[in-house]
Structure 1
Amino acid sequence: MQASPSVPPRLYRASLLRQWTLRVVVPLALATVVAFALLAYAAWPEGAPPLALWRGGLLLLAALAWVVALSWGIAMRVAKPLAELTEAVERLGCGECVYLQPAAQGGAIARLQAGINQASQALASARNRMQSELGRTSIELADKHAKLEAASRARSRLLAAASHDLRQPLYALTLFSSTLRAGETDPVRLERIRHIEECVASLDQLFSELLDLSRLEAGSMRAQPVAVRLDEVFDEASRNFRMLAESRGLRLVLRKTDAWVYCDRTMLARILNNLISNALRYTDSGGVLVGVRHQNDGRVRIDVWDTGCGIAPEHQQRVFEEFYQVRSPAGRTGEGARGLGLGLATVRRLVDLIGGRIALASRPGKGTRVALWLDACAPAQRTPAPALDMPLDISGLRVLAIDDEPGILQGLRTLLAEWGCDVRAAASPAEALEQLRGWFGPPDLVISDLHLGDGPDGLEALQAIARQLGEDPHRPSFARLLVTGETRRDRVDAIAARQIPVLFKPVQPPRLREAMLAAVLAARARRDTPLTEHA
């Protein structure tokens, strides 16, 4: 326990002497002078001898001296301990530990000193207990934090693994379901096919939400901001959802705008698609309106309005949480009742990635408005894309498909053959090289899965094919396309560094067709462009 530092005797005595002089000696001296003056005033007119007056004065001086000496003794015995007590109490108030030497003569001051010493001991004991509790609590919190991080990593691994296992059969199912309509004219069978396609589309929507969450958790999605013309993104969204809205008797209106924003175009399209899809899902009558407003702070606000069932106030903040779902109103079934509760959670994360802000306002029974704020920018110089005679005609293309899953490989072979492609299929890189030997010239396009069992992966297979054809493995003449469910950031970055187009499973046939055509056109443009410098 700490001892209270004592004031040096000389300094303390000088301070006490000043206070004693001002508070005791001076008042007593003034009182004596006043008393002597009053006595002289009273005795002198009566003719009292001056000697008696001076004797009275001497007696007053003697009494004053005795009182002064007595007060000095009292001050020395009482004032110093009181000053030490005051200092000790102040230090206790500041949380310090003190110890006072009890007075030898005992009495009230000694009891006060003993009480302060006991209080200081209790304070020290309480502080030690608090430090022990804080240390134990800190250890428990660190342990719980480590467990939470481990649980988060485990969840991310589980999502990635589960999505990879589900990805393969769903991709095969998507491919086969797209070939059912070929040559079919029976209305009953066409109706059944439509139901199958709806179920596959619903399953694909649920899985896409899970896949997006897995990629966001893995950190494999990074924003690449560019100048984006909102009208183009609106046109794409209109094409994606116009038929769905009309089939449900709803209006979908995306107002024309001249606004440009600076953000990642792909992520913005994903955000807008999720918001429109969610709005249509919970709207039974009326429709969905998408509009843009310029803000005074240099930003652009995108509003997505719907006339749906609305969201109660207690749910409006929680709808952006993962796996949180609002119970559908009584009587609502079908699409409005499906979902994992990941759509808006994915939107919130994507908005954070592109540096935007999102807010929701809703009235139950009236509808909902979701507002998205993005940074505005100046229009970018655009080079018009060359017009294509038949934008989606890929018939006649020589395509080599590589996948170690038999179901996916057969689905690809069937779908590509239906599109008019000359298809060769291989389950491994070695089999792909064998297929090339019986084929005149290089293929127009090689589609490969990234993971090909325990052997070489898709990247190595593409390089092996280029070497067998005598071409540069990093810049071959044929088009390349990778299809994968990989979400690990290092692998995604490695693929991006090779400048190879990537599609993430499950891939819808229209998206696959567009990507195939884009890859082939890019390869032809690359062949037509002379190399000025290439290592």
Structure 2
Amino acid sequence: MSKTNHDTPTGGREPQNIDFSMVLASAVHDMKNSLGMLLNSLDELRQEQADSIGESPRFNTLQYEAERMHNDLVQLLGIYRLGENNLSAHIEEHFVPDFLSEHMARHTPLLEGLGIELAIEADDTNGFFDEDLLTGVLNNTINNALRYTKSKIKLTASEQQGYLVIGVEDDGDGYPASMQHSGTPGFKSLDFKSGSTSLGLFFASSVAQLHSDGERAGSIRLHNGGSLGGGVFEIWLP
């Protein structure tokens, strides 16, 4: 006599409760690590074959797009952790000029390959911030500046009104009026239908807000001008 189970209509298998967001986060984490290894290999290949591919437009495009995807995945993981209330800033003291110099060393091969001039203008000051989170913000901002600049990108750092202000400037056409603002865009304000979600700005402003001192919290500001006359991204950290 055959036995039927009226409680398991899927052929005897127990239904599985799958946390799809966790599955996606795990997949994104693996992709991020793979792209990180790819980027390291591209840097090594550029050094080994400097004469033949150093200024190759196709190679530069490959490295730029791989960097952009890597940055996007870093942001997605950060926003996932933010939604899970599992993203926090580990604040440590850093000498800002050294931090910016070490950070820009990662981008130098691609900048040189694209013929883009790089400058750093930073006060000799210490800052208190999460190095990994701020690196993620700057990676995305510099990658965005690479798309719109004409020939120059500058990193700046100074103390203003009791805040450490780190900026990324370019000599492109600047931000459109709709993007120039101070403060923090909310997640509900992101437009996933337009193809330009401003996800990077949401991530940057979220990272800024994780840095606080008493009642003061960090923020981001976008405007045009600066010393290069193009777009200026600033992150203000207390």
Return closer, same or farther for 1:339/1:198 CA change in 2, 3 Å cut-off: farther
Name 1:242's counterpart in structure 2: 108
Name 2:81's counterpart in structure 1: 215
Q: How big is the shift at 1:256?
A: 4.1
**What SS class does the counterpart of residue 239 from structure 1 fall into?**
helix
Q: How big is the shift at 1:159?
A: 4.4
Length-normalised TM-score, structure 1:
0.32
Instruction: Pick one of 210, 216, 220 that aligns with 1:358.
Output: 220
Decide whether the 8 Å contact of 1:274 with 1:344 is kept in 2. no
| Alignment partners' CA distance in 1, 2:232 and 2:152 | 12
Q: How big is the shift at 1:275?
A: 2.4
| Alignment partners' CA distance in 2, 1:200 and 1:300 | 30
What amino acid is the match of 1:342? Answer: L
Query: Among the aligned pairs, what percent are the same residue?
Result: 22
Return closer, same or farther for 1:275/1:171 CA change in 2, 3 Å cut-off: closer
Name 2:10's counterpart in structure 1: none
Q: How big is the shift at 1:170?
A: 6.2
Decide whether the 8 Å contact of 1:313 with 1:362 is kept in 2. no
Decide whether the 8 Å contact of 1:229 with 1:259 is kept in 2. yes
**What SS class does the counterpart of residue 253 from structure 1 fall into?**
strand
Name 1:374's counterpart in structure 2: 237
Q: How big is the shift at 1:258?
A: 1.0
Bigger Rg over Cα: 1
Deviations 1:81-109 (A, max 9, x none): xxxxxxxxxxxxxxxxxxxxxxxxxxxxx
Decide whether the 8 Å contact of 1:278 with 1:343 is kept in 2. no
Name 2:198's counterpart in structure 1: 341
| Alignment partners' CA distance in 2, 1:279 and 1:260 | 25
What amino acid is the match of 1:218? Answer: E
Length-normalised TM-score, structure 2:
0.66
Count of residues paired in the alignment = 199
- Consecutive unaligned residues of structure 1, counting only runs of 5 or more, are 1-156, 328-337, 376-535
Return closer, same or farther for 1:288/1:160 CA change in 2, 3 Å cut-off: farther
Instruction: Pick one of 99, 102, 111 that aligns with 1:233.
Output: 99
| Alignment partners' CA distance in 1, 2:100 and 2:147 | 19
Name 1:263's counterpart in structure 2: 129
Return closer, same or farther for 1:340/1:350 CA change in 2, 3 Å cut-off: same
| Alignment partners' CA distance in 1, 2:33 and 2:136 | 20
Deviations 1:171-224 (A, max 9, x none): 45765794996xx98x79xx8x94766554443233222222112222222112
- Two-structure CA RMSD over aligned residues (Å): 3.7
| Alignment partners' CA distance in 1, 2:151 and 2:38 | 35
Deviations 1:56-99 (A, max 9, x none): xxxxxxxxxxxxxxxxxxxxxxxxxxxxxxxxxxxxxxxxxxxx
Q: How big is the shift at 1:230?
A: 0.5
Return closer, same or farther for 1:311/1:236 CA change in 2, 3 Å cut-off: same
Q: How big is the shift at 1:300?
A: 2.9
Decide whether the 8 Å contact of 2:94 with 2:129 is kept in 1. yes
Which fold has the larger relative contact order, with Cα–Cα distance below 8 Å and residues 6 or more apart in sequence? 2
Name 1:20's counterpart in structure 2: none
Name 1:206's counterpart in structure 2: 72
| Alignment partners' CA distance in 1, 2:92 and 2:35 | 36
**What SS class does the counterpart of residue 370 from structure 1 fall into?**
strand
Decide whether the 8 Å contact of 1:324 with 1:342 is kept in 2. no
Structure with higher strand content: 2
Matched, 1:291 2:148: no
Return closer, same or farther for 1:320/1:362 CA change in 2, 3 Å cut-off: farther
Query: Structure 2 matches for 1:296-307, cutoff 5 A?
Result: 297-307=161-171
Decide whether the 8 Å contact of 1:206 with 1:339 is kept in 2. no
| Alignment partners' CA distance in 2, 1:343 and 1:158 | 23
Deviations 1:455-492 (A, max 9, x none): xxxxxxxxxxxxxxxxxxxxxxxxxxxxxxxxxxxxxx
| Alignment partners' CA distance in 2, 1:360 and 1:315 | 7
| Alignment partners' CA distance in 2, 1:250 and 1:326 | 32
Name 1:163's counterpart in structure 2: 25
| Alignment partners' CA distance in 1, 2:65 and 2:222 | 30
Query: Structure 2 matches for 1:89-108, cutoff 5 A?
Result: none
What amino acid is the match of 1:214? Answer: Y
**What SS class does the counterpart of residue 362 from structure 1 fall into?**
strand
| Alignment partners' CA distance in 1, 2:118 and 2:81 | 30
| Alignment partners' CA distance in 1, 2:111 and 2:152 | 8
Q: How big is the shift at 1:253?
A: 0.8
**What SS class does the counterpart of residue 154 from structure 2 fall into?**
strand
Name 1:150's counterpart in structure 2: none
